Structure 1
Amino acid sequence: MKKFLLLFCMIISVQSFSQYKTLYDFTATTIDGKKFDFSTLKGKKVLIVNTASECALTPQFKKLQELYEEFGGDDFEIIGFPCNDFGKQDPGDNGQILEFCTQKYGVSFPMMEKISIKENPPPIYQWLTSSEENGTLDASVLWNFQKFMIDEEGSVVDFVPPFKGPKNRRIMEWLQE
């Protein structure tokens, strides 16, 4: 009977683990209205950031772009999600946000359409913030520029709070692992 219970528990554990979603289960709409399938990022580390154009942390766009230029390509991607939830600091429409990011900071990493995290979080943010969905951690989005790290297998690894910049020690160590 003990062997049966042990086997049963192992089967349930494997089934539970396999039910967690990965980044590759999601799609989003880019800031210019195209469908973006996250499965195209298989094998890459990904940094997902909720952004804002009128925040005291907005200069992080410059450091994000530098990080992208240094590490981006076959092994790393940054995805920005504009959001107006925190301090109403991204009031523009998608076109205005894209123009601001590219002209002021030279952003060349993919930007998705503007989202709401507080009132109606898109599925990807539900996954990023819930251990029941991602199997790793629970993390409330605290403010603009919270950074979520996803590994090459599409699993959430960790997050970095908004006030720590994109080139902080935790992210740099993760990128060099």
Structure 2
Amino acid sequence: MKTKMLILTALFAALTAVGAFIKIPFLYSAITLQFFFTALAGVLLGAKYGALSQLVYVALGLLGLPIFTSGGGFGYFLYPTCGFLIGLIPAAWVIGKLTAGSRSLWRILLASLAGLAVLYLVGLPYMAFILNVYIGKGLSTWAVFMAGMIPFLPGDMVKILVVGILSPKLLPHVKTQAAATENPS
């Protein structure tokens, strides 16, 4: 089972990379499918392997593979959107922890919403720091919200809804034991 989970972990790291290239450029960021695959990883693989899939994705990109929306490499730490990449890791963990293998639509939707909140809690302060301290833009808190969150929320809600619809259908095929090993009864 561990081999299967590691293969699925690698698969979701690759899918998140593919999701970076399905993009619509927008302000300091782009609308992508990265969070969609992150949420799916959390629901289908559980907290441990879902987060690991995103850690693999982020690590490979920071090591230089051009798998982020604008490339890759260690210099990506200076991009305003790097915090959102880092936030994918705890977002997947939270989603996996809150769903714990559940097929309930509402539980998946609420867990994905919580994961999205975590993503923004990591990404927005990072964006504000890079834009205001490193680049010296002097943006207000509202301007940072407008640049990094508000315009993206409608698309994020659609992604969460699709994850909620697909996950219950996919979970029986994944047959993960990650939730059972993380939360033994």
TM-score (norm 1): 0.26
Whose Rg is larger?
1
Considering fraction of residues, name the structure with more strand.
1
Considering fraction of residues, name the structure with more helix.
2
